[in-house]
């Protein structure tokens, strides 16, 4: 075969040179394989790329091994969802009006969340509750109940049908961010420092808009087990580990696993982090919950059993997201 395939990165190709393809395929410009930020790490400036095991050890308050961070979600799914640009997890399914799924989601805000409250309070755990602003408008008493428990309000956008995505007009996205935060701050009386985008969906500028609106930590990026510094146009904020894989929706609804599987997944996740922390420094165990799922009577025991296992170990610090961020920022690892 006379054609050869050139390697990328340091190949010395000129801007107008052609990269040959096997078997007589059409060549493409060498510029296709060149971009400004080709380097070790990432191709953006949002954070300095590093591997977890190379970072300085983190020491939590009272020398705890693991910071336990529980994040229930208070969501509102409109009955007439547009689903643009996609339907988020938990969206309406059948033709309008999909009352079967709408009322199940509503169950979480009416009933399920209070079972989760009881489970956490019995174990001395304060949560960061990811809250749609629409929930604060519709159910201010529910926000008051969370605040009275000492829970942190974590912004979760306007509602589950207003997603952030590339192609959304800049001013429209800015309005979604500021309106959501204004409502949550007014109803809760809290500063509201953290942001989780509905369905973790972002545009390229979502972090900049959120930071400009006064949030100092974000929960959308799932590429680490620990907090890390994240750059925005309004300064450095903290990216927090809010994993998808052990989310109750992922395990119980998407994967169709059992409640025992959910319990075991939480325990397995914790056990590995707890073991790693013995030699690698403090870790974060994040538990994402949806009250319409885990708040069901037949499921709450799985959560309680997992929490008993976690809280039964020495060196576990149950904290809110803001508390974890503040403790992490005081560490050499945050430098």
pLDDT in tens, 126-157: 999 999 999 999 999 999 999 999 999 999 99
Per-residue confidence (pLDDT) for residue 8, from 0 to 100: 35
Percent of the chain residues past pLDDT 70, beyond the cut: 89
- Report pTM: 0.89
For the ranges 20-24, 135-139, 193-197, 229-233, the lowest mean pLDDT is seen at 20-24
Percent of the chain residues past pLDDT 90, beyond the cut: 84
Per-residue confidence (pLDDT) for residue 335, from 0 to 100: 75
Per-residue confidence (pLDDT) for residue 12, from 0 to 100: 38
Domain 52-334: what homologous superfamily? Glycoside hydrolase/deacetylase (3.20.20.370)
Mean pLDDT of the chain: 91
Cα separation, 26 vs 299, whole angstroms: 57
Cα separation, 253 vs 259, whole angstroms: 11
Q: Is the pLDDT of residue 281 over 90?
A: yes
Per-residue confidence (pLDDT) for residue 37, from 0 to 100: 62
Residue 41, number of CB atoms within 10 A of its CB: 10
Q: Is the pLDDT of residue 67 over 80?
A: yes
Per-residue confidence (pLDDT) for residue 38, from 0 to 100: 65
DSSP-derived secondary structure for 19-68: E--GGGPPPEEGGGG--TT-SSS-SSSSS----GGGSPPP--GGG-SEEE
Q: Is the pLDDT of residue 36 over 90?
A: no
Q: For 300-308, what is the mean pLDDT?
A: 98
Find the largest Cα–Cα distance for the chain: 75
* Alpha helices by DSSP H, the chain: 99-107, 113-121, 133-138, 140-148, 170-188, 206-212, 248, 259-280, 291-294, 300-311, 321-329
Distance of CA 287 to the CA centre of its chain: 10
pLDDT in tens, 160-171: 999 999 999 999
Q: What is the separation, in whole angstroms, between the first and last Cα of the chain?
A: 53
Domain chopping of the chain, boundaries: 1-37, 52-334
pLDDT in tens, 93-124: 999 999 999 999 999 999 999 999 999 999 99
Q: Is the pLDDT of residue 41 over 90?
A: no
Secondary structure (3-state) at 289: strand
Contact, 224 vs 239, CB < 8 A?
yes
Q: Is the pLDDT of residue 86 over 50?
A: yes
Q: Is the pLDDT of residue 1 over 70?
A: no
Partner residues linked to 250 by β-bridges: none
For the ranges 50-59, 195-204, 261-270, 286-295, the lowest mean pLDDT is seen at 50-59
Q: Which two three-digit tokens encode residue 239?
A: 């990216």
Per-residue confidence (pLDDT) for residue 15, from 0 to 100: 44
């Amino acid at each position: 075969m006379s054609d050869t395939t050139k390697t990328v990165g340091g190949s010395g190709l000129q801007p107008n040179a052609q990269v040959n393809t096997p078997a007589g395929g059409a060549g493409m410009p060498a510029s296709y394989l060149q971009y400004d930020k080709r380097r070790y790490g990432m191709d953006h400036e949002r954070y300095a790329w590093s591997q977890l095991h190379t970072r300085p050890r983190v020491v939590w308050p009272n020398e705890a091994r693991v910071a336990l961070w529980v994040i229930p979600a208070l969501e509102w799914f409109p009955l007439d969802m547009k689903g643009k640009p996609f339907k988020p997890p938990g969206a309406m399914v059948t033709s309008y009006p999909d009352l079967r799924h709408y009322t199940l989601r509503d169950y979480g805000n009416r009933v399920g969340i209070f079972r989760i409250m009881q489970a956490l309070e019995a174990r001395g755990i304060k949560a960061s509750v990811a809250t749609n602003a629409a929930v604060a408008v519709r159910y201010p008493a529910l926000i008051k109940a969370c605040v009275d428990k000492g829970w942190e309000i974590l912004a979760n956008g306007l509602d589950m049908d207003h997603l952030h995505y590339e192609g959304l007009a800049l001013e429209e996205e800015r309005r979604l961010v500021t309106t959501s935060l204004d409502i949550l701050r007014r109803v809760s009386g809290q500063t509201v420092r953290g942001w989780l985008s509905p369905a973790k969906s972002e545009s390229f500028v979502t972090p900049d808009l959120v930071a400009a609106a006064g949030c100092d930590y974000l929960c959308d990026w799932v590429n680490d087990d620990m907090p890390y510094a994240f750059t925005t146009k309004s300064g450095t904020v903290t990216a927090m580990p809010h994993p998808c894989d052990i989310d109750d929706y992922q395990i119980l609804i998407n994967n169709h696993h059992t409640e025992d599987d959910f319990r075991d997944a939480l325990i397995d996740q914790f056990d590995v982090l707890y073991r790693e922390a013995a030699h690698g420094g403090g870790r974060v165990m994040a538990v994402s919950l949806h009250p319409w799922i885990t708040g069901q009577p037949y499921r709450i025991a799985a959560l309680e059993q997992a929490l008993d296992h976690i809280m039964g170990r020495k060196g576990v610090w149950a904290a809110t997201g803001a508390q974890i961020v503040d403790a992490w920022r005081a560490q050499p690892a945050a430098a």
